[in-house]
Amino acid sequence: MKKEVKFSLVFRDMWQSAGKYQPRVDQLLKVAPAIIRMGCFDRVETNGGGFEQVNLLYGENPNISVRQWTKPFHEAGIQTHMLDRALNGLRMSPVPKDVRKLFYKVKKAQGTDITRIFCGLNDTRNVIPSIQYAKEAGMIAQASLCITHSPIHTVEYYVGLAKTFIDAGADEICLKDMAGIGRPVSLGKIVAGIKAYKQDIVIQYHSHAGPGFCMASILEVAKAGCDYIDTGMSPLSWGTGHADIIAVQEMLKDAGFQVKEINMEAYMEARTLIQEMYDDFLGYYIPKLNHINNSLLIKPGLPGGMMGSLMTDLEDNLKSLNKWKAKNGQPELTTDQLLVKLFDEVAYVWPKVGYPCLVTPFSQYVKNLALMNVIQMEKGKERWSMIADNIWDMILGKSGQLPGPVAQELKDMAKEQGREFETNDPQSYYPDKLDEFRQEMKQNGWDFGQDDEELFELAMHPEQYRAYKSGKAKADFEKDLAERKAKKNAPAAGDMPKQIKVSLNGQTYEVNIAYGGEAPAATATAGAPVAVGEGTDLLAPLEGKFYLTKDNSETPKKVGDAIQEGDVLGYIEAMKTFNAIRADKAGTITAILVSSGDSVEEDDPIMKIG
């Protein structure tokens, strides 16, 4: 009898790998029937990871989305699965233990069958508790091997890791080849080694298409006994996304495997609906380069899921850097030039910080560190001159044990700054917090939601949830989308307007437009800034969103506070990390010039210090 290989559609990851946002719930419900009628999928990835944060960012409740989106698949007998960052839950930063436990209860109640648990450090102390919490909640616990290619990450390393997870109770194993740089033959050996240890363990393979290995890798793991293959579909397949279901199905059928047929009429319907979502608003956040396969990605090993948002964010980084270069009489960089510098720096930085697997959040940490190094060196400053606190947490071991040693130069920097390396269980640094969030819900009169799902959302994504509840998230998103639409529809030549009005969902926005190298006219930031006082301007060290605090454990600075040199005055959130803004002298805060959550550009005045 032929070996059967089943397929999963990684619908959520298709969008995250292409760009910045996910479809709205009405769009999801429209495409679900077509996906089901395709008849080839036994599983669909419906939520997890960045999916729920971006719902909040454009003003949609993710709990409603997940419940409604998983329902049609359950009714059709198709399993739903999600992505789960172990210690970090669904976010970039570590999560308290009580929030992690609630996480699985909520997701099971909402209709998610399988949770794919991964840790970019492959630290068993982060993954094994999540296996236990998921099983206690009634979910299928799929433990991931985060695949990369280094002197440390050998076939033996991965087979040993899988054995540990199986012994700890994992129901399934996933080879999470998030950058698509796993070498095909080695991947086949890993699958064979796991099957030799436990023949009936279910193995699922996930790979991104960008570097070009994925089709060979899929064939090798299938030959070695892999049970499920993750696929994408047009127009979001290939590039920084995933291999298309049609190509994978035909390849495996030719190789002699038993696979389900594809209803091509339904495929074309789903493809058309995805294109409609793309044209509606999602395409404004999908750079053209993300449609192209690129073997340059083999060297830095950056994951497809991160490349989607990276290329969108890089537009702002390049604009900010070139503004500085123009101001200082230096030639500007192109996107390709910045990308090559970034890729080279990632390859340099990665071994220095101990070879963490480049998957969320560690892919962002390494990429951000590399990009900061590139930007600082382009401005004539030193490498390592800006390292965010959460990147230090990774280096110091607060997120888990790094696979390799940290470079001596970083150890010396840590010592100079009074930072200590840690060896304790990472969870011990993040105490329970649910009671604090319960109190906040009560004080605001917010509904806890079905199965405490709204409490969970606040606890998992505090800043995004508060912005969602206040309406600021939706207003900011709609303003940004209006600006992107205005830019796309601007006249190509002739009499070019400096300002236009754009209506979106009944709200009118005034949008300032710049051409060439000029800067747009200043636009008032949202919220009312504190009255201006006397003193020296504290400038934003980079572009991003300004926050007075990064979580509710901190007390925000206010006008009149006395400060000392080195005190943290606030944060710039850029590229999914919070970069501390520190006082360069002692004094008193005489003015706070922007509101928490406002977007700022590099060198914008943030505060005045007297």
Beta bridge partners of 600: 544
Phi and psi (nearest 5°) for 296? -60, -20
If pLDDT is split at 50, 70 and 90, which confidence band does 525 have? very low
Residue 388: band (very low, low, confident or very high) from pLDDT cuts 50, 70, 90 = confident
Q: DSSP of 441-494, one letter per residue?
A: HHHHT----GGGHHHHHHHHSHHHHHHHHHTHHHHHHHHHHHHHHHHHTS-SSS
Q: Which residues of 297-328 are buried (b: 16+ CB within 10 A; e: fewer)?
A: bbebbbbbbbbbbbbbbbebbbbbbbbebeee
CA torsion angle for 586, 592, 594, 598 (degrees, to 10)? 70
Cβ atoms 320, 575 nearer than 8 A: no
| pLDDT on residue 149 | 93
pLDDT at 101: 96
The reply to whether 392 and 514 lie within a common domain is no
The answer to which of 179-183, 262-266, 383-387, 599-603 has the lowest mean pLDDT is 599-603
Overall domain count for the chain: 3
Tokens of 274: 């995805």
Choose among 38, 41, 174: nearest CA to 117.
174
Angle at 74 between CA 242 and CA 13, to 5 degrees: 20
Six-digit token string for 427: 């969870």
Q: For residues 479 and 280, give the distance between their C-alpha atoms in angstroms, rounded to a whole number.
A: 15
Examine residue 230 and state whether it is found in any structural domain, yes or no: no
pLDDT of residue 524: 37
Answer whether residue 497 is part of any domain.
Answer: yes
Q: Is residue 223 part of a domain?
A: no
Q: What is the mean pLDDT of residues 348-377?
A: 90
Question: Of residues 157 and 376, which shows the higher confidence score?
Answer: 157
pLDDT in tens, 22-36: 899 999 999 999 999
Residue 510 has pLDDT above 90, yes or no: no
Strands 605-609 and 587-592, how do they pair?
antiparallel
| pLDDT recorded at residue 506 | 56
Count of beta carbons in the 10 Å neighbourhood of residue 551: 11
pLDDT at 336: 84
Percent of the chain with pLDDT over 70: 88
How deeply is 518 buried, as exposed, middle or buried, from its count of CB atoms within 10 A (0-12, 13-18, 19+)? exposed
**Reported confidence tier of residue 523, pLDDT bands at 50, 70, 90:** very low
Reported as a pLDDT band with limits 50, 70 and 90, residue 313 is low
Q: What whole-number distance in Å separates Cα of residue 57 and Cα of residue 478? A: 10
Query: Euclidean distance between the first and final Cα of the chain, in Å?
Result: 80
- Judge whether 551 and 95 are in contact, CB under 8 Å: no
Domain stops at, among 465, 494, 523 = 523
**Contact by Cβ (8 Å): 60, 24:** yes
pLDDT at 575 over 90: no
User: Which whole-number Å values give the CA distances from 560 to 9, 566, 583, in the listed order?
Assistant: 55, 17, 15
Q: Please give the pLDDT value at position 519.
A: 43
Which domain range does residue 578 map to?
Answer: 536-609
564 occurs within a structural domain: yes
- Establish if 2 belongs to a structural domain: no
Pair (333, 372) in one structural domain: yes
User: Both tokens of residue 58?
Assistant: 């454009």
pLDDT tens per residue across span 142-194 = 999 999 999 999 999 999 999 999 999 999 999 999 989 999 999 999 999 99
How confident is the model at residue 340, as a pLDDT? 86
For residue 527, the model assigns a pLDDT of 40
Alpha-carbon distance of 534 to 608, in angstroms, equals 7
C-alpha span between 22 and 50 (Å, rounded): 9
**What Å distances lie between residue 304 and 19, 232, 314, CA to CA?**
10, 12, 15
- Pairwise pLDDT comparison (272 vs 571), residue with the higher score: 272
Do 308 and 425 fall into the same domain?
Answer: yes
Give me the mean pLDDT over the 324-348 stretch: 89
Domain co-membership, 492 together with 569: no
Top-ranked range on mean pLDDT: pick from 417-426, 488-497, 574-583: 417-426
11 part of a folded domain: no
Look at strands 536-539 and 568-574 and give their pairing.
unpaired
Query: Which residues lie closer than 8 Å to 117 by C-beta, 6 or more apart?
Result: 84, 86, 127, 130, 131, 134, 141, 142, 143, 144
Query: Are 324 and 391 in the same domain?
Result: yes
At 552, is the pLDDT very low, low, confident or very high (cuts 50, 70, 90)? low
591, 531 contact by CB (below 8 A): yes
Residue 380 has pLDDT above 70, yes or no: yes
Q: Where are the alpha helices (DSSP H) in 354-461?
A: 362-378, 389-396, 408-416, 434-444, 453-460
Residue that wins the pLDDT comparison between 97 and 525: 97
Mean pLDDT of the chain: 87
Query: What is the per-residue pLDDT for 264?
Result: 97
**511 and 583 belong to one structural domain:** no
Say if residue 495 is in the same domain as residue 416: no
Do residue 337 and residue 315 come from a single domain?
Answer: yes
Whichever domain contains 578, its CATH number is 2.40.50.100
Say if 401 falls within a structural domain: yes
For residues 302 and 408, state if they share a domain: yes
Same domain, yes or no: 392 and 340: yes
Both 329 and 414 in a single domain? yes
* Whether the predicted pLDDT of 522 surpasses 50: no
Record the tokens describing residue 525, joined without a space.
Answer: 């930031």
Stretch among 299-308, 312-321, 348-357, 379-388 having the lowest mean pLDDT = 299-308
* Residue 227: per-residue pLDDT: 98
Statement to judge: residues 508 and 560 lie in one domain:
no
Q: Report yes or no on 165 lying in a domain.
A: no
